[in-house]
Chain A
Amino acid sequence: MLHLPSGFPMSQASSTTATRQSLLLVSLGRGFGGALIFSLPMLMTMEMWELGFSMDRWRLLALLVVSMPLMMFLSRYSGFESTRRWDEDLRDVAIAYGIGTVTSGLVLLVTAVIGPGMGAPEIVGKLCLHTFPAALGALLGRSQFGRHSTDADAEESYPAELGIMAIGALFLGLNVAPTEEMVLISYRMTAWHSLVLVPLSIAVMHGFVFASEFKGGTELSRDTPWWSALLRFTVVGYVVALAISAYALWTFGRFDGLSMQRALQITVVLGFPAAIGAAAARLIL
């Protein structure tokens, strides 16, 4: 059951219990909506079902552990409520995981991806793997559907901007990371193709960074020289996107048995959507 502790800080206008409950319902609704939008592509991807029972259990555990601080960060910048204390963030993250588990469990059950006759390791594996993207979507749901003008904007520090880029990279990257197409594309590409894809990713990213220069609340202003923005945001953002891609690919076992060259090429392939997700996140989040 969900329960709001007494003394829970809200804006003065919504002090009555009835208003609180309806606010909570609206924010839970947004959470379920976000969880569905973010995780449905993955819930309906065959490779994700297979990973549920085939992936290394330590990596699955590592994914759940690593996702915690990331979710805490996201909660700080776009959670269910405007939070300022870590225990509130922890509560929001717990709610997001609850929504994520329920959403992915229901969808997996309705689409017969899990059902009777399957062993507990298979069912739990599939559920655990899908819970993280669904919980991430639940947290994002609020910022996507119900923007509050007052929160977070005031404290967009440089590390926070990088964190937002990392989440953007996950948002787009996780959707395609488990698919076999990532691997297949990299097998079809030669090193020359990769040599074109890297500058292309950076150029498209910089377009987004440039576009966000004219949106309020970022560190960049009109008089920031272009190379400064390129180095401090685009290139750093691209490295963040590559790091997120490499982590996702390693988690899904795509690097197993591969040479360094091959692993780098797959990372560059996944780095393309991840980079665009990273750059776009600064406009959206």
Chain B
Amino acid sequence: MAEQSAGSRISSDAAEWIVAIVSAVLVLALLVFLLSEALTQTGRLPDISLAVTEVVPTAHGYNALVSVTNQGSATAAEVELAGILGDEESRALLDYSPAQSVRQVSLIFTHAATPEEIQLRVLGYTDP
């Protein structure tokens, strides 16, 4: 161990302990957070809702941007979505819809439409 003067030794010790205590508080806070989540939100189903946020004209058609929100406390995998506009149906497959999170999906249509005209539904999903 390197020799240090008494003064700097004490102040660096104090700094070490401050860092140590702050870290211990952070880890405890993490554990308390996880515990509260474990007690309140374990083992329920995904709860997926869909909404068209915008329809953007592109070279390959009209791109309906769909936000996929999972309000549940379980994650859904391979979520299959369908959008219906008149007699046209478009589908997309989403890898994951994580619990309490939002994902963005594009459905492509050949006709222009407003977000309200497009009907959306979830066809199915699997457990991750």
- Residue numbers of A with Cβ under 8 A of B are 154-155, 157-158, 162, 183-184, 187-188, 190-192, 194-195, 198-199, 202, 219, 231-232, 235-236, 238-239, 242, 257-259, 261-262, 264-265, 268
Contacts and interface: CB of A to CB of B under 8 A. Distances in A.
The 8 closest A-B pairs by CB, nearest first: A191-B38, A259-B100, A187-B75, A191-B37, A239-B23, A187-B128, A231-B20, A236-B23
B17 A232 contact: yes
Contacts of A236: 19-20, 23
Contact of B38 (A190, A202, A235, A242): A190
A187 B73 CA distance: 10
A190 B128 contact: no
Interface residues of B, number: 34
Contacts of A265: 34
Contacts of A261: 33, 37, 99-100
B96 A183 contact: yes
A258 B101 contact: yes
A226 to B, nearest CB: 14
Contacts of B17: 231-232
A187 B77 contact: yes
B86 interface: no
Contacts of B99: 187, 259, 261-262
B9 to A, nearest CB: 11
Interface string B95-111: 01011111110000000
Interface in B25-64: 26-27, 30-31, 33-35, 37-38, 41-43
Contacts of B6: none
B2 interface: yes
B22 to A, nearest CB: 8
B98 A219 contact: no
A219 B13 CA distance: 11
A265 B99 CA distance: 11
B12 A158 contact: yes
Contact of B96 (A187, A192, A202, A238): A187
B1 interface: yes
Nearest to A190: B42
B24 A231 contact: yes
Interface string B79-117: 000000000000000001011111110000000000000
A195 B35 contact: yes
Nearest to A257: B102
Nearest to A243: B26
B27 A239 contact: yes
Contacts of B103: 257
B42 A262 contact: no
Contact of B128 (A155, A188, A257): A188
A60 B58 CA distance: 28
B106 to A, nearest CB: 15
10 contacts: A184-B128, A187-B77, A187-B128, A195-B31, A198-B30, A198-B31, A232-B16, A239-B26, A257-B98, A258-B98
Contacts of A192: 38, 42
A154 B24 CA distance: 29
Contacts of B75: 187, 262
Nearest to B17: A232
A184 B75 CA distance: 10
A1 B111 CA distance: 59
A214 B100 CA distance: 46
Contacts of A183: 96, 98
A199 B30 CA distance: 11
A264 to B, nearest CB: 7
B96 A235 contact: no
A77 to B, nearest CB: 14
Given A239-B27, A257-B104, A187 B20 contact: no
